[in-house]
Amino acid sequence: SKITGKGRVTQYDAALNSVREQQLAIENEIRSGMERDEFEVWYQPIIDARSQKMTSVEALVRWPRRPAGELGPDAFISIAETSGLIYALGQFVLRRACQDLEPFSDLKLSVNISPAQFRDPEFEEKVARVIEMTRFPANRLQLEVTETYVLENPERARAAISNLKALGTAVALDDFGTGYSSIGYLRRFNFDTIKIDKSLAGLVDNDEQAAALVSGTVRIASALGMAVVAEGVENEKQMKLLRLAGCDQLQGFWFSQPMPIEAIIELRKVRYV
Ligand code: C2E
Ligand code: CA
Ligand code: CA
Ligand code: CA
């Protein structure tokens, strides 16, 4: 531009290029990681607030990424999305999670779904096929979506949600409290569950307003027939306040980190007091 001069523009282009190059490098690593079967699915317990027992788990993808070392999903999911690799990766996570949890009929399963996956007009059919292949009961499965997806194409979202419900699968709204979700918007989509984001739930122990917002959300959800999960519970005080606020289920490091399936099986009889 005229104001900054050519030097700046070139610097900016160079920075953009190197970001793009890094993304391409990770994209290629994801592709070869998938070929080498490097991706794993770990599970984080979801605790029933009344019985204090693990009633469900959330599947979370893990990438040990040999030899470079572990890369967290926040660093690679978006690259998998823009490159289209999320379709295969998402399908892998869903299939593996259903296989892993199938034998444990006392546990439900919640799986994250990217907006990109939902855009696939055959998404619901693919879910139906995984359920059939793995013999995982549809009524033990919940899919977690974010509002980005719902706002992007409300008509498609409504159709997808109702098709999934017809299969018997539940749908949760993830990361509630981070975006623009309003009561009107909650009413238009038939979610089974609202997951209150850790950026709100994690504040209840030193912010009265956050606690009041959680109680309010619980009341709205219950008027709409939706259950509430609080995420990111990290200490006992938060746990107690979130139970008091009426959350149905709790999830966070206070109870357990995400773990491989074998460790989950060991943990599932624990009662969290
Ligand atoms: P999310 O769906 O909101 O998942 C919860 C994240 O919070 C997980 O991070 C979990 O390890 C972390 N977490 C759980 N309890 C606590 C806590 O008490 N405190 C704090 N600070 N964090 C806690 P993770 O596994 O790194 O995943 C990050 C995000 O990546 C997920 O956020 C989700 O959006 C995405 N993701 C993970 N696995 C998948 C997947 O299989 N498919 C898709 N599409 N997205 C995934
Ligand atoms: Ca989630
Ligand atoms: Ca979340
Ligand atoms: Ca998130």
Please say if the pLDDT value at position 2 is more than 80.
Answer: no
Q: Provide the b/e sequence for 199-209 (b: ≥16 CB within 10 Å).
A: ebbbbbbeeee
**Helix 86-101 × helix 123-134 angle, to 10°:** 30
Task: Give the strand pairing for 170-176 and 193-196.
Answer: parallel
Kindly report which listed range (12-21, 79-88, 124-133, 183-192) carries the lowest average pLDDT score: 12-21
* Residue ID of nearest Cα to ligand 1 atom 21: 232
Does residue 198's CB lie within 6 angstroms of at least one atom of ligand 1?
Answer: yes
User: Which value does ipTM take for this structure?
Assistant: 0.98
- Location of structure tokens 């460790």: 263
Please say if the pLDDT value at position 147 is more than 60.
Answer: yes
Ligand closest to 74 (CA) is 1
* Residue ID of nearest Cα to ligand 1 atom 3: 175
Q: Are 115 and 148 in contact (CB under 8 A)?
A: yes
**Helix 208-223 × helix 236-244 angle, to 10°:** 40
Per-residue pLDDT at 5:
58
H/E segment holding residue 175: strand 170-176
Q: Provide the b/e sequence for 40-73 (b: ≥16 CB within 10 Å).
A: ebbbbbbbebeebebbbbbbbbbbebeeeeebee
Does residue 56's CB lie within 6 angstroms of at least one atom of ligand 1?
Answer: no
**pTM for this model (two decimals):** 0.94
Please say if the pLDDT value at position 155 is more than 60.
Answer: yes
Please say if the pLDDT value at position 8 is more than 70.
Answer: no
**pLDDT tens across 13-33, in order?**
777 678 889 899 999 999 999
| Calpha distance 17→13 (Å, rounded) | 6
Q: 251 CA to middle of ligand 2, Å?
A: 10
Nearest one of 90, 106, 226, 108 to 161, comparing CA atoms: 226
User: Which tokens is 206 given?
Assistant: 């030193």
- Location of structure tokens 């991706």: 39
**Helix 86-101 × helix 73-83 angle, to 10°:** 120
